[in-house]
Structure 1
Amino acid sequence: MPAPSATAPYDIAVVGAGPSGLTAGLLFASYGFSTVIIAPKVNLSDGRTTALLQASVDLLTQIGVWDRLVLKAAPLAKMRMVDDTGRLVRAPEVTFDSLELDLPAFGYNLLNKDLNLILEKAALEQDNLTFLNQSAANYDAKDEATTITMGDGSTCQARLVVAADGRKSLAREAAGIDVKRWSYPQMAVVLNLNHDQPHRDTSTEFHTPTGPFTLVPLPGRTSSLVCVVTHEEAERLKDMGKAELALEFEQRAHSILGKFELNSEPQMFPLSGMIARALVGQRVALIGEAAHVFPPIGAQGLNLGLRDVAGLGKVLKAAKDKNNDIGSAEVLGAYEKERRTDITTRTVAVDALNRSLLTDFLPVQIARSAGIYFADKIPPLRRVLMREGIAPGTRSKRKSLLSRVTRRLG
């Protein structure tokens, strides 16, 4: 890794050192771009987990870190959905098996702190990649480059700024990119736990009247838990001791994994959503939570952000091969076009699923139950949904697959 410098001109400055930012820095440097990551520190204490789906695994393999990550991860070979709403109209229980797609797993679950540590080590070892342990405080975008001023007053220049600095992105704000925000009457309770019975590499999602209750495998007899409840219920759970809370969650899981024992402190987060009205501005591109935020449902959050990274990398590499300006409006417009449909459709789908669990409106209950029923009973539709869930294809591939399902139904 080159020695840090606050004056060297860079092709790309990635602002933010979460998983999306670190992965972006590694990918761009591997394409031959002189790249700097600007962030005060990497979070190596985050006890939450991330389920990395196949498209993310492919990207992490490409940048050479997956062999290290998989040693810390548990495979997600089966995805089980259980309607636990107790309502008049309920969906049948459905289990999707990765073997139906000739895959060993849909994805892999691991601790965020392990993911961040391995990505940071790779970034520090990567040629053509500099790490500036600073906070970006100001941006001055000009025709040829953007000057970034750090918290200590030092500066650097880059032909393109990649904003990976989260939902409160200063880079996005400096570019004048507006966002649409919304909130939900829910809180997510997140923790990790041990259990008596093996999870058999099966992720189980109970659909409840207040949102999903999801158990995702970790190595050994350990799982991560995301429990979505009302704000009032979250306050009740917050006041419980560890043993009482473990019993509460075991009962909510109908003891499918035996006795529970918490092995991390519970964390609580209000559920909200956000989508940027544009993914690009003058010499800036948004990725990850700088571009989109939605509830922890369906393992889409970071996976969507890593697809941003892959999509932006594809566009920038093509521009480099043609000797085009990577920060030009034309190149950034290609990134906007590349990613907008995927981001919009995923955001809408997650929002619709979450809201369908909250409503008592009978037609919505019937529609949700029917959708899950057909997903279980029609093999071509099952495969379409599974493929799209783990590694979204091109629009033409989706159209072809859905056409075959339509013909089959006809």
Structure 2
Amino acid sequence: MSQTADPQTEGPLYDVAVVGAGAVGLATALALARDGVRTALVGRHAPVADGRTVALLDGSVRLLRALGAWEALEPQAAPLAEMHLIDDTGSLFRPPPARFVAREIGLDAFGWNVESARLVETLRARARAVPDLTLVEHDAAGRTVEADRTVLALADDGTSGGGQRAARQVAARLVVAADGGASPLREAAGLAARRWTYPQKALTTILAHARDHREVSTEFHTREGPFTLVPLPGGRRSSLVWVSAEARAEALSALDDAALAAAIERQAQSMLGAMRIDGPRGLVPMRGLSVPRPVGPRLALVGEAAHVFPPIGAQGLNLGLRDAAALRDAVAEGMRDPGSEAVLAGFARGRALDARLRTGAVDTLNRSLLTAFLPSDLARGAGLLALSTIAPLRRLVMREGVTPRLGTPTLMRG
């Protein structure tokens, strides 16, 4: 692909410039560069906050393996061999716990849980070793769209991947915005975004506990939101995402370690025994964002620039990684000009549908927990009961939740 110099920037004309050096931006840049696409990754490699984890579903693990990152990450990840859903809403209609086993659909695990900082560090190390990928470690300050390229202005002097002084501009046929939920590139392009909030916050931390988790992820559905324990390596460590009403979440966050551990043990019905806080805490506002058409002139949105989820159901980052893999496929099909309208239109069609379906599922589940409306409880309970008792339906839902068959990107296929 493009190897020419750009006289306007006194530097190379890249095929693609990815803005944002988080997990999704790194994965996007790596997915493109592995095919020989001349790629620049623009963004500071800032420290990643400890204490947050991500459950990487099977398709995401396939992508990381294709990118050459999984071998280093796997020893730091815990498999999720089973998932248990427990209704703890106090509803009059309480179905029995639903149990999902990965081996029922031919997998060793639905996914693997890993600390977010470890994931980003591993992807960064891989990015530094890949040819055709230039790291430009400073911020983008705006862009100018021309007929056959986009020119990114850089906020300050910085360094490229080799440590040399970087140019003040970067030119590319296509710019990919992986710059987060507040995405300056999305806002500057005038792409419409729908935003909403929930009357909840999510308390996150890492726990040590007396009993082995046995590679089982357990989610309690409470009237204030899901309370989820996800395995970490070692058998007796788990990550916590406790979604509750804003006031309660803030009160829990203010407790000392011993009091918080006791509250978590009570909420978990002592299933893992005595708890101990074993990592920093986070308090995450519950909000959502969707972009109906995640593309603009020579611009594609991926990750939270295109969709933001509350931390429910492990959908957020996994959907962002599907964006990365799908963009790689779209660019491969439009080799002559990765920023052309045809390439972007194809990418937009598939990604908008996927995001809309995932957004609807997460939103429906969360809102159904917040209401004591009996028909809503009946519908949710009947759904869980059906999943528990109808094996073909359960297997279908498990497969679609882990690796959707419709429109699965090439690097995520089995």
User: TM-score normalized by structure 2?
Assistant: 0.92
Encode CA deviations 1:297-332: one digit per residue, 9 max, x unaligned: 111010000011111111111111xx3x21011110
> Match of 1:399?
none
Q: 1:46 aligns with which of 44, 50, 62?
A: 50
Question: RMSD of the TM alignment (CA)?
Answer: 1.5
Paired residues of 2:229 and 2:240 also in contact (CA < 8 A): yes
Q: Name the CA distance, whole Å, in 1 between partners of 2:46 and 2:116.
A: 11
Paired residues of 1:315 and 1:334 also in contact (CA < 8 A): yes
Q: Name the CA distance, whole Å, in 2 between partners of 1:64 and 1:40.
A: 22
Question: Is residue 2:162 matched to residue 1:162?
Answer: no
Structure 2 counterparts to residues 29-44 of structure 1, below 5 A: 29-44=33-48
Displacement after TM superposition at 1:239 (Å): 2.2
> Match of 2:61?
57
Structure 2 counterparts to residues 385-404 of structure 1, below 5 A: 385-394=397-406
Encode CA deviations 1:30-54: one digit per residue, 9 max, x unaligned: 1111101111224344320000001
Question: Is residue 2:295 matched to residue 1:280?
Answer: yes
**Percent of aligned pairs sharing the same letter:** 47
Paired residues of 2:95 and 2:381 also in contact (CA < 8 A): yes
Q: 1:374 aligns with which of 368, 378, 386?
A: 386
> Match of 1:192?
206
> Match of 1:345?
357
> Match of 2:98?
94
Question: Is residue 2:190 matched to residue 1:176?
Answer: yes
Question: Is residue 2:228 matched to residue 1:224?
Answer: no
Q: Name the CA distance, whole Å, in 1 between partners of 2:357 and 2:11.
A: 41
Displacement after TM superposition at 1:6 (Å): 7.6
Displacement after TM superposition at 1:67 (Å): 1.1
SS of corresponding position for 2:326: helix
Say how many residue pairs are matched.
390
Q: Name the CA distance, whole Å, in 1 between partners of 2:280 and 2:23.
A: 22
Encode CA deviations 1:158-195: one digit per residue, 9 max, x unaligned: 10001000000011112110100000000000000100
Amino acid at match of 1:138: G
SS of corresponding position for 1:213: strand
Paired residues of 2:215 and 2:231 also in contact (CA < 8 A): yes
Structure 2 counterparts to residues 105-184 of structure 1, below 5 A: 105-152=109-156, 154-184=168-198
SS of corresponding position for 1:126: coil
Displacement after TM superposition at 1:89 (Å): 1.5
Paired residues of 1:56 and 1:307 also in contact (CA < 8 A): yes
Encode CA deviations 1:168-225: one digit per residue, 9 max, x unaligned: 0011112110100000000000000100100000000000000000000000110000
Range moving further from structure 2, 387-396 or 296-305: 387-396
Paired residues of 1:375 and 1:382 also in contact (CA < 8 A): yes
User: TM-score normalized by structure 1?
Assistant: 0.93
For residues 336 and 78 of structure 1, do their structure 2 counterparts lie closer, same or farther at Cα, with a shift above 3 Å needed? Answer: same
Question: Is residue 2:215 matched to residue 1:201?
Answer: yes
More helix by share: 1
Paired residues of 2:51 and 2:281 also in contact (CA < 8 A): no
Displacement after TM superposition at 1:20 (Å): 0.5
SS of corresponding position for 2:126: helix
Amino acid at match of 1:392: P
Displacement after TM superposition at 1:238 (Å): 2.3
Amino acid at match of 2:326: G
Paired residues of 2:50 and 2:280 also in contact (CA < 8 A): no
Paired residues of 1:81 and 1:204 also in contact (CA < 8 A): yes
SS of corresponding position for 2:180: coil
Amino acid at match of 1:193: L
> Match of 1:245?
260
> Match of 1:400?
none
Q: Name the CA distance, whole Å, in 2 between partners of 1:354 and 1:48.
A: 20
Displacement after TM superposition at 1:265 (Å): 2.2
Q: Name the CA distance, whole Å, in 1 between partners of 2:226 and 2:197.
A: 16
Encode CA deviations 1:371-397: one digit per residue, 9 max, x unaligned: 11111111110010000010011179x
> Match of 1:314?
329
Paired residues of 1:18 and 1:43 also in contact (CA < 8 A): no
Encode CA deviations 1:314-355: one digit per residue, 9 max, x unaligned: 1111111xx3x2101111000011212111000001000000
SS of corresponding position for 1:344: helix
Q: Name the CA distance, whole Å, in 2 between partners of 1:265 and 1:178.
A: 36
Amino acid at match of 1:8: P
Could you tell me which runs of 5 or more consecutive residues in structure 2 were left unpaired when the two chains were aligned: 1-8, 158-167, 409-414
Q: Name the CA distance, whole Å, in 2 between partners of 1:202 and 1:162.
A: 37
Amino acid at match of 2:141: A
Paired residues of 1:193 and 1:263 also in contact (CA < 8 A): yes
Paired residues of 1:42 and 1:116 also in contact (CA < 8 A): no
For residues 121 and 191 of structure 1, do their structure 2 counterparts lie closer, same or farther at Cα, with a shift above 3 Å needed? Answer: same
Structure 2 counterparts to residues 321-332 of structure 1, below 5 A: 323=336, 325-332=337-344
Q: 2:249 aligns with which of 218, 230, 234?
A: 234
Encode CA deviations 1:101-138: one digit per residue, 9 max, x unaligned: 11110000000111011100000001000111111011
> Match of 2:368?
356
